[in-house]
Amino acid sequence: MFDLGESLFIQRMSCFCLVFLTIGYYCQCIQFVHKEKDPKYWNAGAQQTLRTALTLQTLNTNKAKNLILFLGDGMGIPTVTAARILKGQLNGQSGEETQLEMDKFPFVSLAKTYNTNAQVPDSAGTATAYLCGVKANEGTVGVSAAAVRSQCNTTEGNEVTSILRWAKDAGKSVGIVTTTRVNHATPSASYAHSVDRDWYSDNEMPAEALQAGCKDIARQLFENIPNIDVIMGGGRKYMFPKNTSDVEYPSVAKHSGTRKDERNLVQEWIDRMKDKKGHYVWNKKQLLSLNPNNVDYLLGLFEPGDLTYDLERNTETDPSLTEMVEVAIKILRKNPSGFYLLVEGGRIDHGHHEGKAKQALYEAVEMDRAIGRADLMTSIHDTMTIVTADHSHMFNFGGYTARGNTIFGLAPMLSDVDQKPFTSILYGNGPGYKLVNGVRENVSTIDYEENNYQAQAAVPLSMETHGGEDVAVFAKGPLAHLLHGVHEQNYIPHVMAYAACIGQNREHCMSRSGTADLRPVLSGIVALLTVTRLLC
Which amino acid is residue 178, in one-letter code? T
Q: CA–CA separation, 180 vs 191, rounded Å?
A: 16
* CB distance 491 to 113 below 8 Å: no
Q: Which residues are annotated as a binding site for Zn(2+)?
A: 73, 349, 353, 390-391, 466
Q: Angle at Cα 130 formed by Cα 187 and Cα 465, nearest 5°?
A: 75
Q: CA–CA separation, 20 vs 410, rounded Å?
A: 10
Give helix 357-377 / helix 321-332 axis angle, nearest 10°: 30
Q: CA–CA separation, 110 vs 51, rounded Å?
A: 24
Q: Which residues are annotated as a binding site?
A: 73, 184, 186, 344, 349, 353, 390-391, 466
Q: Which of 425, 395, 386, 482 is nearest to 72 (CA)?
A: 386
Q: CA–CA separation, 444 vs 431, rounded Å?
A: 19
To the query of whether residue 337 is one of the catalytic residues in this protein, the response is no
Q: Which residues are annotated as a binding site for Mg(2+)?
A: 184, 186, 344
Q: CA–CA separation, 279 vs 191, rounded Å?
A: 20
Which amino acid is residue 242, in one-letter code? K
Residues in the chain: 536
Give the DSSP letter string of 40-65: HHHHHHHHHHHHHHHHTTS---B--S
Which residue among the candidates 7, 14, 109, 123 is catalytic per the annotation?
Answer: 123
Q: Which of 345, 365, 331, 346 is nearest to 66 (CA)?
A: 331
Classify burial at 314, counting beta carbons within 10 Å of its beta carbon; exposed 0-12, middle 13-18, buried 19 or more: exposed
Catalytic positions? 123
